[in-house]
Each structure stands twice: as structure tokens, then as C-alpha cells.
Chain A
Amino acid sequence: MIIQFLRYLFGYINFRAFGGFPDRFINLCTKEGIPLWNVRNINNNITASTTVQGYLSLHTVARKSGMRVISTDKVGLKYFLRKHKTRVGILAGLSVSVIVLSVLTQFVWSVSVVGNTTLEEDVILSAFEENGVRVGVPVSSIDNDEVASLVMSEIESLSWVSVNMKGSVVVIEVREKTEAPEIYDPSKPTNVIASEDGVILSIDVLYGNEEVKPGSAVTKGDLLISGVITHKDGTEKTIHADGYVKALVKKKKVSSGMDFSIYNIKKEKTRNLIFFFGLKIPLGTMLKDGYFTEHNSFIESDKNLLPVGIITQYGANISEEKATLDVSTEEKIALFSNALCVRELLEYSEIRNSKTVKQETENTVQYEISAQCEQEIGTLQEIYVEKTDDIQ
């Protein structure tokens, strides 16, 4: 490939040799140091290629081997330029394209993020944009390490950031922090208290003193299992109380109505912007306020988006008004809402019995659910202990 390029750069001549002794001709060429390539023998006519310098000495060799040499074609950059020297446009276009390409490669063409799992890509990109890494900025202006450390300090959920420059493409590699799990500390003194009002159904103590019996009524915050143990000598010790307390809890839920709005578009406008390496050139005017959306259509090359394209902006003035619904629709909505309430109840408890009452007014329909649920109501509450030095 490189040899072919060099041959084209310096130019070469395709020739035809006929008559005489082809084998002697080739041997003499080698002896004289005339490079030959693509040598073919077709009906005792030899076609081959040689350098310009080689072609000049070829005639002596041809004479010695009794052959005649005719040049068939001249190939190379200098012959191409000579042929097209009157076509200034080609040369100008070639020069301009080389200059444009060399200038544009000095700027960032695209910024992409890899390695993020939960953190939104837009959040990372906007943090980098604020620190000067965006499409259109000069590549030389980006200090990879400094930008990475600045973004690390801005986004706390990142544990590692690396800015890699691949020519004009910036690839941001990130790793997110893994949240430390909540540590269960059995040495911490705790009580088990009630998280809801109810009647105790069962109590299963793992550690601590049972303070209530099945059948007892408790209110929210009542002590169920105590973490304070009194010894026979009257001294007390705090421990990490734990256990399972199941209670019958009364629950009431009202299916709330839903509000629906109607949006009226008063004024709408669309305009295009030419996007060129971060520069946005608007083609027209836009509404001053209202609802806006954007649609980008950039030129794609080899699955990569180039920083050149059209941004279509859509703007609209929208007014909102509350929708009035008929009774049957209201009822359907209320039923749906009721189903949501039941699902909410079943999430943490087991429904023992329930009653649903329909409440109808002039324009609204509501469902009220009264249910008795079996639920785990024990929750841990830390006992704050002040440590003091023992007095001798």
C-alpha cells in the first residue's frame, strides 16, 4: 500500500515491449537496476511498469535484448496535476478541504459518557458543559485532569471520572459510588414500639422484655418490647430489643378524585437553527414565553453524530383549564382510585375484612374503604444512653 502510494507520488510509466528476447530484457533490467513490476507476457508482448528514471535507461537495455519499447501510460500525481492544471477549481477545492479539515479537527466534535448506571447522562454532560467541555470548544483548552476533579467534586455520587480525548471526540468514563448498606448494630440499645394503633394479635420476642400481651389495645408509640432489663439486685442493663408484633389495625381510605385538565394551544411557532460546532444560527424568530421543545437532526457518520445539523424548535403558548366530567366517568375514576387504595393496603398488611361505601354528591363520586388488617406494627426505637465514669 505504502509502496503503491510512493509510486503514485513520484510517478511511473506503463510500457509495452515486443520482439527480441523477453527473458534477456528482464535480466538486463535487473542488472542495470531498473525496477520492474506488474510484468505480464501477452502474446509475446511484455507489459510492465517502471519508474520515470528507469524508463529513460530502458531503451539501451531494449536495444541490447533486441526489443522495442513503447510507453503506454504515465501515472502519478505530477501527471495528474499537469493534466488538470487548467482546472484551478479542483486545486482550490482540495486546498480548502485540507485547511477546513485541519482547522475543524482542533475542536471537539462530540462528547459521550460511558459507565453510568443510575446517574442520568444529561446530568453528567451538563456538569462537564459548565466546566468547559462541550461540542465546539478547542481541544487544547481542555485540561483532562482538572475537569475530571472539578466534576468529581460537583457530583458526589461519582467515585471516579476520566476524560479521554480520542482525536476530536471526548469520551467521559465514570464510575458511580456504591451506597453503603445500613449497618445492623446489635450492640445499640433499642426498644420496640408501636408504629400504629391496634389490638395485639401475637408477640414474638427475640430479645428484651415483653410489655404487652395478645389482646391488649395499643396506640402509636406505645412500648411493646423493652430493651431495659432489671436484674434481681435492682441494677438495670440496656440491650438491643427485637421481635415481631402483629396487630389488628383499622384502616380507612377514601378514593380521592382525580383532576383532569384541558390544554388549549393559543399560539404556536416552529423555527430551525443551524448547529455548527456548538454555534447555533437561528433561522427566524421564536415566541418569548411558553412551552418549548427541541428536535435535533445531526449528520451521522459511521454511527457517530457529527456536530453539524439542524435543530428544530417548537414553541407554543398553552392555556390550562379544568375539565368537567360526567357522573359515569367520575364513577369509573373513583373505582380505579379505589383499586389503587386496596393495592396500597395490601402492600404492608393482610386484609381480614373490609367494607366499601359509595358516597355520591351532585358531581362527584367517592368510595370509602374501611378495613381491618393484620399488620406488623413493631418498630425499633433507639435508647439514648449517656456514658458516665463509675464513681468509686
Chain B
Amino acid sequence: MARKKKERKLQLPDVILNEAKIEMISNREIIVDGCKGVVEYGENLIKLNIGELVLCLVGDNMIIESFDTGVAIIRGKFAEISFVS
């Protein structure tokens, strides 16, 4: 906790702080920077490991547009986004 406070004071970027940066364009596209891997990959559910949390995406026609060097771009029609610790 004390370390995190120090890091916050240094104003380091989120990715360096081992935290994912999530960017959404409407409910059509989501860019996850700092993705550690895929936990579950189903037809209507994708679970991504983003460090301390798991990002759950529920939707239709979901495509992993690219998954490279910790950046995942997922397109589709998202119905639900949730975080599981």
C-alpha cells in the first residue's frame, strides 16, 4: 500500500504501475493496454487477465482484432462489462 502511494506521487503511467489501461469506443470496440492473457474464450464471453483483476466481456460477434505485446483490441457488440477480483 505504501509502495503504491509512492508510485502515485511519482505520477508514473498506469501501465508502468502494472495496471491496465482500458479504452472503449461506444459498445463496439475496447482496447486493453496491459493485458496479461486470456482466461476464458467463449462464443459470447471473453475473460482477460489484467493483473489484479479479470475483465469479463459479454456480447455478440466478438472478434479479437489483435492481441500482441500486452495490447488486446476486441471488437463486437458488448452487452456487459464486469471486473472480477
Question: Contacts A22-B41, A23-B39, A30-B37: A39 and B68 contacting too (C-beta < 8 A)?
Answer: no
Question: Contacts A42-B43, A43-B43, A44-B43: A37 and B65 contacting too (C-beta < 8 A)?
Answer: yes
Question: Contacts A27-B37, A30-B37: A38 and B42 contacting too (C-beta < 8 A)?
Answer: no
Q: Give every chain A residue within 8 A of B41 (Cβ-Cβ).
A: 22-23, 26, 41, 46
Q: Are A38 and B65 in contact (CB under 8 A)?
A: yes
From the candidates B38, B62, B68, name the one contacting A27 in the complex (CB within 8 A). Answer: B38
> Bound complex: CA of A42 vs CA of B65, how far in Å?
15
Q: Are B68 and A30 in contact (CB under 8 A)?
A: yes
B contacts with A, residue count (CB < 8 A): 15
Q: Does B40 contact A (CB under 8 A)?
A: yes
Q: Give every chain B residue within 8 A of A27 (Cβ-Cβ).
A: 37-38
Interface of B is mostly: strand
Q: Does A36 contact B (CB under 8 A)?
A: yes
Q: Give every chain A residue within 8 A of B53 (Cβ-Cβ).
A: none
Instruction: Say how far B76's CB is from chain A's closest CB, in angstroms.
Output: 9
From the candidates A30, A41, A43, A44, name the one contacting B67 in the complex (CB within 8 A). Answer: A30
Q: Which of A34-60 contact B (CB under 8 A)?
A: 35-44, 46, 48
Instruction: Say how far A53's CB is from chain B's closest CB, in angstroms.
Output: 14
Question: Contacts A27-B37, A30-B37: A37 and B66 contacting too (C-beta < 8 A)?
Answer: yes
Interface string of A63-89 (1 = CB under 8 A from B): 000000000000000000000000000
Q: Are A39 and B39 in contact (CB under 8 A)?
A: no
Q: Does B63 contact A (CB under 8 A)?
A: yes
Q: Give every chain A residue within 8 A of B38 (Cβ-Cβ).
A: 22-23, 26-27
Q: Are B37 and A41 in contact (CB under 8 A)?
A: no
Q: Does B64 contact A (CB under 8 A)?
A: yes
Supply 8 A–B pairs (Cβ within 8 Å), ascending by A.
Answer: A22-B38, A27-B38, A30-B37, A40-B63, A40-B64, A41-B41, A41-B43, A41-B62
CB within 8 Å of A: which residues of B?
Answer: 37-43, 47, 62-68
Q: What 4 A-B pairs have minimum CB-CB distances, sorted nearest first?
A: A39-B64, A23-B38, A27-B37, A23-B41
